[in-house]
Amino acid sequence: MHNLFDSRQTFDLGNGQTGAFYSLPQLEKAGVGAISKLPVSIRIVLESVLRNCDGKKITEQHVRDLANWQPNAERVEEIPFVVGRILLQDFTGVPLLADLAAMRSAAARAGKDPKRVEPLAPVEMVVDHSVQVDVFGRPDALQQNMAIEFERNRERYQFLKWGMQAFDTFKVVPPGVGIVHQVNMEYLARGVMEKDGVYYPDTLVGTDSHTTMINGLGVVGWGVGGIEAEAGMLGQPVYFLTPDVVGVRLKGQAQPGITATDIVLTITEMLRRAKVVGKFVEFFGEGAAKLPVTDRATIANMAPEYGATMGFFPVDEATCQYYLATGRDKAKVDALRNYFKAQGLFGVPLDEQCEYSQVLELDLGTVKPSVAGPKRPQDRINLYALKESFETLLGLAKEDGGYGKTGAARKAGELNHGDIVIAAITSCTNTSNPGVMLAAGLVAKKAVELGLKTPAHVKTSLGPGSRAVTEYLKSAGLLNHLEQLGFGVVGYGCTTCIGNSGPLPEAIEKQILDKDLVACSVLSGNRNFEARVHQNVKANFLMSPPLVVALALAGRVDLDFANEPIGQGKNGPVFLKDLWPSNEEVAALLPKASDAAAYSIYKNVGADNPLWDAVPAPAGQVYQWDTASTYIQEPPFFQSAAKPDPVIRNARALAIFGDSVTTDHISPAGGIKPAAPAGKYLVDHGVEQKDFNSYGARRGNHEVMMRGTFANVRIKNLMIPGSEGGVTLHNGEQMSIYDAAMQYQKEGTPLLVFAGEEYGTGSSRDWAAKGTQLLGVKAVVAKSFERIHRANLAGMGVLPLQFKDGQGAQDLGLTGTETFDIKGLENGIAPQQDVTLVIHRADGASQEVPLKLRLDTPIEIDYYQAGGILPFVLNQLLG
């Protein structure tokens, strides 16, 4: 244990004992920098850099650089951040475990001890992405959906059980407990951690972009690709460029009836406009200090939607009270409080206490009732303008972002544009927040008492974020009212928000397809990208849980909610204002949610789960791969020693995309179509369509995932104008992207992908990068990249290249008939260097276009040259 700058000190644990810690105030005393003016989030990262300083990976210079963070300096320094723990969900966790298992296989083949491949930080996986809403509106829906889930996912769950016995630090929270981020808040978060008598802040990275939810508890953490998470768990620091920190001053308080969801949709719109992509956002001011911790978590959760790395709220007394209310040990909470006080980190900063790169302000009193959609979470609509907004989009031409439809008169018993076919209370953002969940229950109670019913065409579901939610809804006497409107519990998991909305009733689906309807979903989720919620539901609106209930009752979005009734009750028309609960009504029930008894489910988290207990656990340190499995296959990333060649000659375009292509477009998580390359592969391997499951559930099999890359039904390859779906041209012939890529591989032709702005927005999907690499794509050339996807491409040995001066593929008139060279990397590679794209056109003309290499840091160049982060880490482990 080092004592750099005499920083190793002791503090009072609160029980008459002391603990050791690395003191930030001591750094300031030693004249290293003006630490107390730094943003709180930067100080917590600095503590990790100081504590883990070993003179090799982390040096004294790293400490000095970060201690002297300047609000508006050029960002060239790389921070090596060692996190306290790693958080996984199962869609990303299963392929990550497959990579670890493959590393062990590679070690065994090399004659080394496979136990050398072992996570060095605690790893916790919550299985929450696999449950689908197959059954709904019935008292046994939860049991039925769980039974189907276990039947579908038996192979994956056996594999997880192998991992639990093979690795010492790998723990699994089984299916049926809750959503990863809510379980993280209510159970896994430590606040402060301890190792060998030294105390330090709880920090983490998670393989889900909404890991940022934990920032609401003052825990530094964010989403990374599973590729980075693997490196982190195997002892690599998480490397990132020193960030800008945007301070958001919250002032005032929300008007009566305004929910945390309204606030976060407003913040998402505001921060997207302010372009905070890749920056830390830190909330401060009296408005932030007064927000309940659960509202802070709602705001932190949607950091990926506003594009920030984090949406951070510092630790204060409200944080400590949340830990106690969710059943945490008092002595541990006392240690947390005293630790943060000793570090000078306790309390939400007020004005002028910290220096920020930029300060934005929001008066919470100006927030209006809001929804967002129909395709992006940042497209906020005032609730009372929803009808007008939908009707405008309906008539707007497709090329202008609309639907190109004419509205038709409504006929009784027939579906129309704007009808709601899915209404789901779902998602970590909202189900973790008792304020909005109790409000949803109160809306249901009033609706039932007034005699309202949910129309038959609406598929309703309640997917609570944890069993604790069910407990407090029951104890508040509201669950039965929700059930009477069809909002019974269908499962504990992401459900509709991740695209597991399950099938629509056949008659409904038939009407949508026959009439080409713009049918709608309303969900309390955080993502509504095209074809994510359901492939045939074109318009998807995000909103608070009480609004989901109200709109489900209305059955359509094209209603003037200020002046038209939601429906006819037993005593006449019922308006939204008749259903909406007062702040006082919600407040009266909130103590039900801060009763530690509701959280006793975590006392023994694996108990009362006979389906999980019945899954057999394979034994052994090295996994016995089954070549016949269609779920788990040994990934090919460690089988060849080939390094990527940065010199790219005579490449062809595999696809040319426009703006806002998401990781859902690149690597869908939802259903697999029988005619798609992945569907054909499954059929060839004897899998019936009813057992296809989803792309997300099959991420342990690279054969399925390669075929699913660029296979979203809504992706548009501009090489084939007017087309939708994963198609391209090979020598002028139209075929699937997968088939074309395989042809090009046979011919030895390198491939490029071109894209517009914000390429790779959305979930931190490794397979968006892994699939790209396996198809033979050597570089992606885009106007701009979303943070995680750019890092994932670099980590898979695919060059991320960025156009300069706002140029793009469309300005260059690319059609896919060209060949391309990449020049400038022949004599070595430096971070963010200039390179040149040479375009050879079919008519013999050529053109040179300047690009910037988006390998941003020296470590990314090391990863790239090793063939990717995974071979790099394996080489280090095996020496």
pLDDT digit string, tens, across residues 699-740:
999 999 999 999 998 899 999 999 999 999 999 999 999 999
pLDDT reported for residue 805: 81
Residue 139: cis peptide before it, omega within 30 degrees of 0: no
pLDDT reported for residue 670: 81
pLDDT digit string, tens, across residues 118-135:
998 999 999 998 899 999
Mean local confidence (pLDDT), 557-566: 97
Mean local confidence (pLDDT), 381-410: 91
Give the start-to-end residue ranges of the domains of the chain: 370-581, 636-878
Q: Is the pTM of this model over 0.85?
A: yes
Q: At what angle do helices 434-449 and 293-301 cross, to 10 degrees?
A: 100
Q: Is the pLDDT of residue 93 over 90?
A: no
pLDDT reported for residue 762: 78
Beta-carbon neighbour count of residue 615 at 10 Å? 19
pLDDT reported for residue 641: 67
- Calculate what percentage of the chain has a pLDDT beyond 70: 100
| CATH class for the domain made up of 636-878 | alpha beta
| CATH class for the domain made up of 370-581 | alpha beta
pLDDT reported for residue 453: 97
Q: Is the pLDDT of residue 694 over 90?
A: no
Helix residue ranges, H only, 52-89: 60-67
Pairing of strands 203-206, 198-201: unpaired
pLDDT reported for residue 15: 87
Please answer whether residues 759 and 786 qualify as being in contact, where contact means their C-beta atoms are separated by less than 8 angstroms.
yes
| Of 209, 297, 95, 214, residue with least CA distance to 662 | 209
pLDDT digit string, tens, across residues 667-685:
998 889 999 999 999 999 9
Distance CA 378, CA 307 (A): 10
| Of 652, 707, 668, 661, residue with least CA distance to 684 | 707
Identical fold at 370-581 and 636-878?
Answer: no
pLDDT digit string, tens, across residues 200-234:
999 999 998 899 999 999 999 999 888 888 888 88
